[in-house]
Structure 1
Amino acid sequence: MSGQNLSRIGQNRLRPFERAPRPMVGYACDYAPGHETGQHRHPRAQLLFASAGVMRITTEAALFTVPPGTGLWVPADTRHGVRMDGLVRMRALFLRADAAASGPSLATVIAVSPLLRELILTVCGEPVVWDARGPIRLVAALVLHEIRRAGTRPLSLPACSDPRLLRVAAALIANPADPRDLEDHAAVAGASVRTLARLFRGETGMSFQQWRRQLRMTEALARIARGELPSRVAVAVGYASVPAFGAAFRETFGTTPATAAPRAGTASA
């Protein structure tokens, strides 16, 4: 993401959600493909969820891919930017500090169960200041319960800061199928193979091969979520055969590409 900030119009639109007296409020907005929010932060924690479309979210620590069926927990005051991959129907929650205690301490991709999905949509259908004595208070309590018990998903990629690593990362993000090894990248990055290998370990906690594999798998899931055929996705992320791609996908996500694909006729709210 660029260094631009959320527009003043966007800030004004979100301010009521950031100051609402309720423990949780829902925010609904549809975004055009390619829309970018710019880097910004909120005084309240968020659960960013899209009922349709894929969100690419950056923080200072990581790059996140968030397809339908998952959500990104963003703690309060975490600087982040969102880019919409295709048409995105964002249905997000803002949580007051007491309610946010139900979520992780770091930005984390969590699984959004069918129940949690419907609860999010219900909260998003309520006014910013909903009836504190009405049944919606029970829905909000159930949302917090579901957030506490939600599993996490391996859809983050550690960010890089060293300029030499950034050149390598940019090339791979632009083309996950890039077959070049670390030696080839070293020539472009302006560093020795040993230096790049050390930087990858030091900054990301991963080897170059592990980082690239994680990138390929997160990109694969995003493409599967958009409805692309597994055979095409395999080629796009650098696998020579569909069986090899399927095995790597299953090892990473515990399911097959076909199972992860969106169901035909699934309604989006």
Structure 2
Amino acid sequence: MNTPIIRADLVTSSDGPFVAAAELTQRESRETSLHSHPRGQLMGALNGLVSVGVNRQQWVVPAIHAIWIPPHYEHSVRSHGPFSGWSVFIAEDRCAALPAEPRAIRTTSLLREAVHRAAGWPGTALDPQQVRIAEVILDELAASKAESLGLPAPDDARLARITDALAANLADARRLEEWAAWAGLSPRTLSRQFVAQTGMSFAQWRQQARLLRALELVADGVSVTAIALELGYDNISAFIDMFRRATGTTPGRYRVEGVGARGCLRESG
């Protein structure tokens, strides 16, 4: 059974403080079925990794990233093993200036520290100092840039069969023409429908799936060599190059940044 991360009234009602936050550490996996609420929610991982289902996409939330879910958007949440995470719930009337669509963001140290402070509040009226910290959270979210941490799912059953098979074995190096024959499609139809239904080419979708899996494995402390092999890269350099182009840093540096963020929050508590 999931431990509630915060009082129910601070999620379901816009009454009370316009920002309510909480942190949670849990040894077992956590899963929340599809639901929605009137407050917007910003959720992030401190340790481990969380997947969020929203808008027919799976969004991966590795450490130092967060997912913004505007009010009334249906979403589901699943952690991959033990994790520590946080959530901020923002009153609906304060969400007008915030992103109107769900997005993944890379958090700043200022945002993480402000959330950590807010997580210690009792859920009552905010004093002037708390209001200033809450406004920092809103300002940081409003100024954030969208990150590519989502993977859209196709509607067509034949395309879904391909994406399911790829997700089960990302090292599978079959070309588009081979996948089309396997699913009973012409290569042209597969190529056209992939873009129409996911907004990505087949090659882009496969690379994004590999990147998101790599982020999961990096968060779990798996070696770069093992990750490259699992994802089907011929050599480690090719994998590191892909990771750097997608994230702006290397897998090793990305892991260090995530550990540094978690350590900073623990020390400040």
**Please, what TM-score do these two structures have when normalized by structure 2?**
0.88
Residue of 72, 90, 96 corresponding to 1:95: 90
Q: Distance in 2 between matches of 1:68 and 1:114?
A: 12
Q: Percent identity?
A: 33
Partner of 1:104: 99
Partner of 2:228: 234
Which deviates further from its counterpart, 16-25 or 238-247?
16-25
Alpha carbons of structure 1 residues 64 and 246: separation in structure 2 relative to 1, 3 Å = same
Deviation at 1:9, TM superposition (A): 9.1
- Whichever residue aligns with residue 143 of structure 1, its letter is I
Alpha carbons of structure 1 residues 223 and 206: separation in structure 2 relative to 1, 3 Å = same
Post-superposition CA distance 1:131-158 (Å, at most 9, x none): 4234211110111111122233211112
Partner of 1:244: 238
**Please, what TM-score do these two structures have when normalized by structure 1?**
0.88
Which deviates further from its counterpart, 199-208 or 31-40?
31-40
Alignment of 1:198-237 (within 5 A): 198-237=192-231
- Whichever residue aligns with residue 240 of structure 2, its letter is G
Q: Give the SS at the match of 2:155.
A: coil
Partner of 2:141: 147
Partner of 2:129: 135
Q: What is the RMSD computed on CA atoms of the aligned residues?
A: 2.4
Does 1:79 pair with 2:71?
no
Post-superposition CA distance 1:52-101 (Å, at most 9, x none): 11111111332211101010000111111111012122210110123223
Query: Tell me, which stretches of 5 or more residues in structure 2 are unaligned?
Result: none
- Whichever residue aligns with residue 117 of structure 1, its letter is R
Alpha carbons of structure 1 residues 11 and 164: separation in structure 2 relative to 1, 3 Å = farther
Q: Distance in 1 between matches of 2:143 and 2:6?
A: 33
Q: Does the 8 A contact of 1:160 with 1:203 survive in 2?
A: yes
- Whichever residue aligns with residue 184 of structure 1, its letter is E
Q: Distance in 2 between matches of 1:82 and 1:98?
A: 24
Q: Does the 8 A contact of 1:55 with 1:66 survive in 2?
A: yes
Q: Distance in 2 between matches of 1:60 and 1:228?
A: 30
Does 1:57 pair with 2:64?
no
- Whichever residue aligns with residue 195 of structure 1, its letter is T
Does 1:196 pair with 2:223?
no
Alpha carbons of structure 1 residues 262 and 127: separation in structure 2 relative to 1, 3 Å = same
Alpha carbons of structure 1 residues 258 and 186: separation in structure 2 relative to 1, 3 Å = same
Q: Does the 8 A contact of 2:162 with 2:179 survive in 1?
A: yes
Q: Does the 8 A contact of 2:62 with 2:216 survive in 1?
A: yes
Alpha carbons of structure 1 residues 50 and 8: separation in structure 2 relative to 1, 3 Å = closer
The size of the alignment, in residue pairs, is 262
Deviation at 1:186, TM superposition (A): 2.6
Q: Give the SS at the match of 1:135.
A: helix
Q: Give the SS at the match of 1:171.
A: helix
Q: Does the 8 A contact of 1:17 with 1:128 survive in 2?
A: no
Q: Distance in 2 between matches of 1:12 and 1:91?
A: 10
- Whichever residue aligns with residue 237 of structure 1, its letter is L
Partner of 1:113: 108
- Whichever residue aligns with residue 81 of structure 2, its letter is G
Query: Tell me, which stretches of 5 or more residues in structure 1 are unaligned?
Result: 1-6
Q: Distance in 2 between matches of 1:169 and 1:52?
A: 28
Q: Distance in 2 between matches of 1:77 and 1:259?
A: 36
- Whichever residue aligns with residue 192 of structure 1, its letter is S
- Whichever residue aligns with residue 259 of structure 1, its letter is R
Which deviates further from its counterpart, 217-226 or 249-258?
217-226
Q: Give the SS at the match of 1:136.
A: helix
Does 1:38 pair with 2:33?
yes
Alpha carbons of structure 1 residues 120 and 11: separation in structure 2 relative to 1, 3 Å = closer
Which deviates further from its counterpart, 65-74 or 144-153?
144-153
Q: Does the 8 A contact of 1:24 with 1:93 survive in 2?
A: yes
